[in-house]
Structure 1
Amino acid sequence: MQFDYKEFHIDASPLDEGGRCYARAKIYRRDLTGGEAVEVKYSGDLGDYPSDADAIEAAQRWAIQWCESQSG
C-alpha cells in the first residue's frame, strides 16, 4: 500500500512469510522539483499480524506518527 502524506511518500507493504504478515514501512521525502524521492526512514519489522490488512494498518499508523513527529 503506497500513499502520500504531507511531504512524504509512504510504502506500507507487508512482508508475507510463514503464514504471518509482518508490518513494515518505508518513508520517502518527495522531491517537489520532480526528481527522485529519497528514503528517509525504514521501520524494520513492526510486528506480525494475521492478515495483510492488519499489517498494512499497523504500518500506516506507525508511518503517519513518524511523519507527524518530523513536522514542524
Structure 2
Amino acid sequence: MKFDYKEFHIDASPLDEGGHYYARAKIYRRASADGDAVEVKYSGDLGDYPSDAGAIEAAQRWAIQWCDAHGA
C-alpha cells in the first residue's frame, strides 16, 4: 500500500513468502521542486503476519511513527 503522509511518501507493501507476510516499509521524501523522491529510510522486516492486511497495518504504523519523529 502506497500513501502520502506529511512531507513523505510511504510504500508499506508486504513481502509474501510461502503464506507468511512480512511487514516492511520504504519512506521517501520529495527532494526537489520537480517532485523527484529520494528514499530516506527502509525498515527491513518488521515481523511476519498471517495476512497481508496485518503486515500492511504494522508497516504503516511503523512508518507513521518514524515520520512523526523525523519530519520537519
TM, length-normalised to structure 1: 0.94
* Structure 1 residue ranges, 4+ long, deviating more than 3 angstroms after superposition: none
- Equivalent pairs counted in the alignment come to 72
Identity of aligned residues (%): 81
* Runs of 5+ unmatched residues, structure 2: none
Root mean square deviation of aligned Cα: 1.1
Decide whether the 8 Å contact of 2:7 with 2:71 is kept in 1. no
How do 1:9-48 and structure 2 match up within 5 A? 9-31=9-31, 33-48=33-48
Q: Which blocks of at least 5 consecutive residues in structure 1 are unaligned?
A: none
Please identify, of 30-39 and 61-70, the stretch whose mean Cα deviation from structure 2 is larger: 30-39
Q: Structure 1: how far apart are the matches of 2:7 and 2:24?
A: 19
